[in-house]
Structure 1
């Protein structure tokens, strides 16, 4: 089975997120953009992947269509490991993170979708088999920067059935507002997006949120590659520490784990190298005794692939779900119900995008 075409397609949807009108979150998003990677084969099997993401999708698509797609023509779709290794080596001079790696990640997801469809099995069957029929989701709230908005959206997430809440807030008043709006047994996760420039600042923040039932503080210091600093925060801060979404390879994540930097590792399947990389990180996390909770604040095949990975995990961990309501979600079936997402059982990724949505893709 040979690859006959690799193309990129952008879905763009208006959204609301419980905040004021206008751009939302720390990325100042006006719409939610999803870059779909479509891989066609001479066997008539089509696979779908997703490459990161948001405001960067057009740059990533350019890397996909101009660099990667022409090289894939005629390659064996079933040789995922061999093809991905050749492509990574061929394009490594463009960096081991960023748009090229994001595009390769989308390609890898699509190839796994094809492999599972060819086998007539759901993706999770190729990853070790699902241990559960549904996966808990946590509400990943966008940044509001206003205690009232934080409290209101935390309460709304609880009303919708979520029992885990992530904030993208640094202000302690906003964090206290969420804590007061959620039942005491509901853990908070705090993604501060590398807010602090020093270990001392980050440790002070971590100590300030002790007693608030915080499972982890995410990316506590700048830059995200300063693993020694993250490890120092972990030793002194008194909270769990999570990181990994900004890293572009299993090797870099392995270095972070070896430094003792994190309790929770957060690879992003649309950034780190696709499903193949996620499996490598799964092994690394197990070796270092870290929990694997993927970063997946997106709505396309990347979210779906992350769901399959979590369905196979020995220890149940939650799926990140970006707390926004899209006018046209790629997969309505992935919207959490009572705090859970059902694991698809169809071949491949198990869900297909509405052809009407695809017809309007850019």
Structure 2
């Protein structure tokens, strides 16, 4: 097929409750959605990471249309992963010249997801079925985005939907975090699990101390307690000192770095983000390698509805015992897409509609649109 048109939409939805992490606060919910079409009536949707920095969404959209679109339009593609491979090579010097490795990778990730959606739609298969004939009909979810000091109500609401695993954000004040975690663990019901995400808050020494003091809480995992780019030796040292399984991956990029992380023995849970690096091509390959190594693939995602759907389809195709991250905070840029896919008994259903099942963007988000760019000038 030949790509003949690219359209990218930027949205920003206000939020009454900012999402706080150890490194910053999200005061609105952005999303960048990209649409590819092939000139024969087929199309595909993807999502480009836009949570950080605060001005990142509009930047990613312009980067796509002004610096990458020329490498996509008119390109003939025989398999969806070809675009990912080609763009990764062809944008290397462009990204090197400006030092914007992350934005280029994120744009390529969104384009890769859109390409896979397009191919799956043309094959009249759901994306999960296109990726694997043995894809599951649903995937288990866990609730995330919960501040450790105010998670009680959100956990109760998630529990009412049959969700049995909950991830809270820590890394604010170690002593208070531990007290709050203790209270949350005490309130868990049989079969439920609690995870903690520090968002790279601590030094190795601080992480070791937190791991020691939290050992009795029996957390399901401790996510990014130290910087994601810390040497693997530091991660291995922490893993040896920590009874709690370690999780990371949203800030790992590249096949080599993921392979090294998997082989290091430091991690129990790997969490690539389909909108930050790799798209479907990269994340599915990492997922399969993770599962083959006996580890858990639990895709990271905290964005809009297209990326969440793509994450669910990749997880369903990969197999294993992973869970889908489902942000518990209100976000119309996500919720409007998944309203037709309600979580039932803690599981997210994989629709049988072609591709990701998205024909047009939901009408409910139209008022949140801040920018649309189209290669056809429309």
TM-score by length of 2: 0.87
Q: Counterpart of 1:201?
A: 206
Whether 2:158 is the aligned partner of 1:157: answer yes
Note the alpha carbon deviations across 1:82-104, whole angstroms, 9 max, x for none: 32222111112315841110000
Question: How far apart are the structure 1 equivalents of 2:245 and 2:189?
Answer: 20
Question: How far apart are the structure 2 equivalents of 1:42 and 1:141?
Answer: 40
Note the alpha carbon deviations across 1:305-344, whole angstroms, 9 max, x for none: 1111221233232110011123453412345344221111
Q: Counterpart of 2:34?
A: 37
Q: Counterpart of 2:347?
A: 340
CA contact 1:3–1:75 (8 Å) conserved in 2: yes
1:114 Cα offset (Å): 0.4
Aligned length: 353
CA contact 1:11–1:33 (8 Å) conserved in 2: yes
Note the alpha carbon deviations across 1:268-320, whole angstroms, 9 max, x for none: 01112100001220232134332111101223221111111221233232110
Superposition misfits of 4+ residues, deviation over 3 angstroms: 351-355, 357-360
Please list, as runs of the form range in 1=range in 2, the aligned pairs for 1:243-322 lying within 5 A after superposition: 243-322=248-327
1:355 Cα offset (Å): 4.6
Q: Counterpart of 1:192?
A: 198
CA contact 2:3–2:76 (8 Å) conserved in 1: yes
Whether 2:146 is the aligned partner of 1:108: answer no
CA contact 1:298–1:321 (8 Å) conserved in 2: no
Note the alpha carbon deviations across 1:163-188, whole angstroms, 9 max, x for none: 00001123112212321332253111
Question: How far apart are the structure 1 equivalents of 2:366 and 2:156?
Answer: 37
* SS of residue paired to 2:26: coil
Summarize the Cα distance change of 1:355–1:314 in structure 2 as closer, same or farther, 3 Å threshold: closer
* SS of residue paired to 1:295: coil
1:196 Cα offset (Å): 1.2
Question: How far apart are the structure 2 equivalents of 1:71 and 1:115?
Answer: 19
* SS of residue paired to 1:275: helix
* SS of residue paired to 2:151: helix
1:105 Cα offset (Å): 0.2
Summarize the Cα distance change of 1:209–1:184 in structure 2 as closer, same or farther, 3 Å threshold: farther
Tell me which moved more, 114-123 or 343-352: 343-352
* SS of residue paired to 2:128: helix
Note the alpha carbon deviations across 1:90-144, whole angstroms, 9 max, x for none: 1123158411100000000000000001111111112113443221110003336
Summarize the Cα distance change of 1:152–1:355 in structure 2 as closer, same or farther, 3 Å threshold: closer
1:12 Cα offset (Å): 2.4
Q: Counterpart of 2:144?
A: 140
TM-score by length of 1: 0.90
1:219 Cα offset (Å): 0.9
* SS of residue paired to 2:244: coil
Q: Counterpart of 1:236?
A: 241
* SS of residue paired to 2:203: coil
Q: Counterpart of 2:6?
A: 6
C-alpha RMSD of the superposition: 2.1
Question: How far apart are the structure 2 equivalents of 1:247 and 1:125?
Answer: 27
Note the alpha carbon deviations across 1:157-210, whole angstroms, 9 max, x for none: 223321000011231122123213322531111111111112x32122122222
CA contact 1:204–1:237 (8 Å) conserved in 2: no
